[in-house]
């Protein structure tokens, strides 16, 4: 996968400043042979806003002004917002050896390359979608489109990367083609756990419960 993806022509799809953009965009495979397609600007903005919401919640909690119930309500809202924003930063696509993994806000889908029928933009919204041989579709609406599309077609680059990855894996013979017989499992979906967003959500529920308790008691 590491060499096949580059041999498929991906090295020519980076626009101006090819070597620099390749390094900054992170398209080179990591030690596990994975290539992560991430909207880094979006990730930075969302995580910055999430940290700001957490900081504001801490400030409100440490401030002695106002009723404890009101502070708990504000903290619950801020922590819930921070959790939601952090989950928004988790949206990405990972090209693993033999698989395409689409990580969304709540779930991630694992698609074996042998199950990829086509990547197209035939949806009514015009967003990139992946169709499997089983007729299932994965919509990349939340992943598609970025600031870098104003400079060069970054969303097109990501779509080409996924096509090249599936094609390179099939040509290398590392995954069997579609049809009956033994082979990798089909499309799989899992809940997208987060070591940051989930504790924030738990904190929001706790603060909401405290606000309700103080309201009933008072």
Is residue 73 pLDDT above 70, yes or no? yes
Residue 175 and residue 202 in one domain: no
Residue 65 and residue 28 in one domain: no
Residue 119 and residue 14 in one domain: yes
Residue 97 and residue 205 in one domain: no
CA 145, 9, 97, 182 torsion-angle sign: positive
Residue 62 and residue 76 in one domain: yes
Give whole-number Cα distances, 73 to 80, 116, 211, in Å: 11, 46, 6
Q: Is residue 101 assigned to a domain?
A: yes
Q: What is the mean pLDDT of residues 24-51?
A: 81
Q: Is residue 78 assigned to a domain?
A: yes
How far apart CA 151 and CA 171 sit, in angstroms, is 32
Q: Is residue 38 assigned to a domain?
A: no
Residue 104 and residue 140 in one domain: yes
Q: How confident is the model at residue 21 (pLDDT cuts 50, 70, 90)?
A: low
Q: Is residue 152 assigned to a domain?
A: yes
Residue 64 and residue 125 in one domain: no
Angle, CA 144 vertex, CA 47 and CA 45 arms, to 5°: 15
Q: What is the mean pLDDT of residues 183-191?
A: 77
Is residue 2 pLDDT above 80, yes or no? no
Residue 108 and residue 207 in one domain: no
The predicted structure's pLDDT at residue 41:
84
By residue range, what is the domain housing residue 127? Answer: 2-33+91-191
Residue 154 and residue 96 in one domain: yes
The predicted structure's pLDDT at residue 191:
93
The span from the first CA to the last CA of the chain, in angstroms, equals: 63
Number of domains in the chain: 2
Q: Which two tokens stand for residue 139?
A: 């919509």
Q: Is residue 40 assigned to a domain?
A: no
């Amino acid at each position: 996968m590491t060499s096949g993806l580059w041999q498929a022509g991906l090295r020519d799809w980076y626009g101006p400043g090819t070597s620099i953009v390749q390094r900054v965009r992170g398209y080179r495979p990591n030690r596990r042979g994975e290539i992560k397609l991430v909207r880094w600007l979006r990730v930075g903005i969302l995580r910055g806003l999430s940290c700001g919401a957490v900081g504001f919640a801490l400030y409100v909690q440490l401030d002695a002004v106002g009723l404890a119930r009101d502070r708990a309500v504000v903290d619950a809202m801020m922590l819930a917002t921070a959790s939601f924003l952090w989950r928004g930063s988790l949206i990405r696509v990972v090209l693993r050896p033999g698989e395409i993994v689409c990580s969304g806000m709540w779930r991630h889908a694992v698609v074996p390359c042998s199950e990829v029928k086509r990547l197209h933009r035939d949806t009514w919204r015009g967003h990139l979608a992946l169709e499997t041989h089983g007729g299932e579709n994965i919509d990349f609406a939340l992943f598609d489109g970025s600031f870098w599309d104003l400079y060069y077609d970054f969303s097109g680059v990501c779509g080409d990367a996924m096509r090249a990855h599936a094609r390179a894996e099939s040509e290398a013979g590392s995954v069997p083609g579609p049809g009956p017989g033994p082979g990798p499992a089909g499309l799989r979906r899992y809940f997208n756990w987060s070591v940051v967003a989930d504790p924030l959500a738990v904190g929001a529920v706790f603060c909401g419960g405290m606000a309700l308790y103080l309201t009933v008691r008072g």
